[in-house]
Amino acid sequence: MKTIKLTEGITKEWTRALRSRKFEQGTGWLEKESKYCCLGVLETILDLEIDSTYLLCNNDHSNRSCIKGLSMKMQGTLAEYNDAGKSFTWIADFIENGFKKLES
């Protein structure tokens, strides 16, 4: 199991990847048939094993890789925005603005 702290550098790499058009956006899964949720993109750039049906954990009491600094609540919010059709660019802006609520 890896535990990774969500640093400013990782956040920049994540938002850059979301805007890169390298990843095709999908819904309902972190990754399925080469389509990604925004959280699946994060797992990919961090070279974590993607479990297509579960969000990342955020504590040390799991046998899964963890991202410290990204709460389960925020993961749920990001997944909801992704699955509601917000673009990766919109999600990258949301992340860069400190996860503050943005206008559509």
Strand 31-32 versus strand 35-36 pairing type: antiparallel
Which residues sit opposite 57 in a β-bridge? 66
Domain limits at 53? 3-91
* Structural domain includes residue 17: yes
Per-residue pLDDT tens over the stretch 55-74: 555 555 555 566 778 877 88
Alpha carbons 62 and 58: distance in angstroms, whole number: 9
The alpha carbon torsion through 104, 21, 57, 30 (nearest 10 deg) reads 90
In a domain, 96, yes or no: no
In a domain, 13, yes or no: yes
Instruction: Flag whether 100 is in a domain.
Output: no
| DSSP 8-state secondary structure symbol assigned to residue 57 | B
- Classify residue 54: in a domain, yes or no: yes
Number of domains in the chain: 1
Q: Band the pLDDT of 9: cuts 50, 70, 90.
A: very high
Establish if 49 belongs to a structural domain.
Answer: yes
Predicted pLDDT of residue 86: 97
Q: Is the pTM of this model over 0.85?
A: no
Give the containing element (helix H, strand E) for 4. Answer: strand 3-5
Residues 91-101 have a mean pLDDT of: 84
Does a structural domain hold residue 11? yes
